Amino acid sequence: MADNWVETTATDLRRWADDRGEELDEQGARILLDLLRNEMGLSGPEALTPEGVGRLLLDVFPEAVVAGSDDVPTVLDALRRIVAYLRDTGVVSASAAADLEAEIDRSAPAFSDLVAEMDTEERHAAAEVIGGLMRADGVSLDDQEAVDAWLRDFEALPEEERYARTEDYLRQAEELVVPPVRLASEADVADAVRRSPLTGNVLALARWTGERTLTEHDTLTETDAEAAAAALGLESPRRHGRMEDAGVLERLWWAAVEAKVITAEKGTAEPGPALDALGSDDDATLLAAWLPLFEALVVPGHDYADGLDAVELVQNEMTGVLIHLYEQENPVGPDTLAGALLDHVAEAYDLTDADTMPELVTDAFHLELATLEEWGVVESSGEGRVLTPLGVWTVRELLLADGFTAPVVGELAGARASELIEGLTWYRPDAADEEIDGWLARHDPKDAAADLLDVMRTGGPGARNLAAAVLHRIGPEAAAVVRAAQEHPLVSPYAALWLNATGDPSGRELAREEYLWVFVDTVAGMLETADPKEAVEAALMDTPPEAEMKDMVDDLWRTDHPGVADVLEALGAHHPDKATAKAARTAAYKARSQP
């Protein structure tokens, strides 16, 4: 049948329904026909099989179409009308139509459940976005009156403004994503908390204090402070270079008060409600008490003295250092950390003594780093520093509380292929390999390949690149599934590469235009998450020498890929060979000039 068989079939289907006086959801039927041709590669409606019906309802439609539970009966009715039309017009035999209808009936319950699940996820995602927009506007989600007022105002905005605000929020939300980490077990983290001197010191301080009269500022009297410091072994100030920290006890005191390990009010101290929890044998109870204690220490909300000295300044900024360590793949040297902290301090503070403050801040940083190591949050690794398992768990909890998305390696093992690919965007190479291995172990190879191919059909270049990389981790048992996907234009070259790599006899060499298209698709995918310079550097690692690359560039602008101009502009700006870069800039202009 001709390439426009969808249009012809839709027109005939409309006429068929009118002749019988039957209602037809023409738009819904057209969507289904488009999916059969564009996503499943059918050459005509006569190619529809019962297996194709099942795949349409349980794989293709849910991934390609946003639908709600209320749409399920309409979709199934439209598909049944298509089958009836095919039977009545002789396109398929009566027995074949009966098989198709039987498959619709068989798949309908699972289709209904799947759409309901995805509908719930879509609603949940939309609710998260709306909630984020409200919080950004200072609206408390617990204030129903304020929520209702915000919703009325938001819905009254022009559609373009609603979209713009939503897109801006989502862009900002992307910045609140940190790389995945491996978490120690709750038992191991709790054991580290019990062994931490921080825990021991705060428990000792709270028990030593007991019920006691305080100063008018709810602190220990000078005599009691000296006695407490002696009891805890904190009499001597900590020193590094020109800096010393004599406020260790006071810092512990205010953290214990803020974390409710000690209750201090109206000049009286007594054990706080969190004291027993901080010494609990129950792991979850212990961690729930320890986290606010650590947060009070690294996110201090109390001034320990008049003004802000270098020690207090550094203590106020250590969360940035901890997050930096959390995001790094490799250990970071103390001097590098101190330098980054100094750069931030110079931008964020108006330092009155700019000549001596850098040295004082550096010394104070080393004091604080030693404190974090003593608490068991940071440790040495070679000449650098890394977070301990306790540090990783703690920083992740603080990030989550601040609205960050903080994935954990292994949590995608049971996810759909589309969720896996979306999540892998934020993974480092070694963590990505581990996550992919876990996902493949939980999925049948044929089903995994089919799902990945669906992602490649419906996703953008970045998703296609990642899905293709995961597909290459699947063995020849998925060959039949990959062979069947070769008809789809977005998948065909990747399928050919996979078949060649697995030694399948149906494999073939890519035509030059296909090779160029894959190159553009690969670089376009990199440009989605990397800056152009990094994307070009990564792309050139496996490309031919400069002379052949220049010939490629001369041909690239003719490639039928929507991202070709962006790719050529990136090559023109960052290719190390001047002749190739110039050719890329010229080719980019040609690509932009095409209709």
Written as one string, the DSSP assignment of 257-312 is HHTTSEEEETTEEEE-TTHHHHT-SSHHHHHHHHHHHHHHHHS--S-SSSS--HHH
* Amino acid of residue 319: T
DSSP code, position 561: -
Share of the chain above pLDDT 90, in %: 55
- Mean of pLDDT over the chain: 88
pLDDT at 174: 64
Banded model confidence at residue 157, pLDDT cuts 50, 70, 90 = confident
Give the chain's largest Cα–Cα span.
100
Beta partners for residue 270, in sequence order: 263
Grade residue 210 by pLDDT with cuts at 50, 70 and 90. Answer: very high
Please state at what angle helix 310-327 crosses helix 389-401, rounded to 10 degrees.
Answer: 100
Q: CA end-to-end span of the chain, whole Å?
A: 29
588's CB contacts (< 8 A; 6+ apart) are 557, 565, 568, 569, 571, 572
pLDDT score recorded for residue 449: 95
Tokens of 591: 């690509």
Burial of 46 (C-beta count, 10 Å sphere; 0-12/13-18/19+): middle
- Name the token pair of 452: 């990945």
Neighbours of 119 (CB within 10 A): 18
CA distance 190 to 351: 40
Q: What is the DSSP letter of 47?
A: G
234-237: long-range contacts, CB 8 A cutoff, minimum separation 24 = 234/201
Top-confidence range, 122-131, 135-144, 350-359, 554-563? 554-563
What mean pLDDT do residues 121-137 have?
Answer: 72
pLDDT at residue 2, rounded to an integer? 46
Average pLDDT, integer, range 140-145: 77
pLDDT in tens, 298-334: 876 545 444 557 888 888 888 989 999 999 989 999 9
- Confidence category of residue 107, pLDDT binned at 50, 70, 90: very high
Residue listed under structure tokens 């040297």: 333
pLDDT at 1: 41
Q: At a CB cut-off of 8 Å and minimum separation 6, what does 363 contact? A: 240, 241, 242, 243, 310
Cβ–Cβ < 8 Å for 35, 56: yes
Per-residue pLDDT at 353 exceeds 70: no
How far is residue 415 from each of residues 122, 172, 330, 349, measured CA to CA in Å? Answer: 15, 25, 28, 45
| Stated length of the chain | 595
Residue 408: strand, helix, or coil:
strand
The SS3 call for residue 138 is: coil
Full-model pTM? 0.65
- Tokens for 51? 């297996």
The pLDDT value given to residue 497: 94
Nearest-10 crossing angle of helices 334-348, 357-375: 130
Q: What's the pLDDT score for residue 301?
A: 57
Contact 325, 391 (CB under 8 A): yes
Residue 95 and residue 530: Cα distance in Å, rounded?
54
Q: Which three-class secondary structure state does DSSP give residue 22?
A: coil
Return the residue matching tokens 């995961």.
Answer: 470
* DSSP for 438-478, written as a single string: HHHHTS-HHHHHHHHHHHHHHS-HHHHHHHHHHHTTS-GGG
Contact yes or no for 111/72 (Cβ under 8 A) = yes
In this prediction, residues 534-558 reach a mean pLDDT of: 83
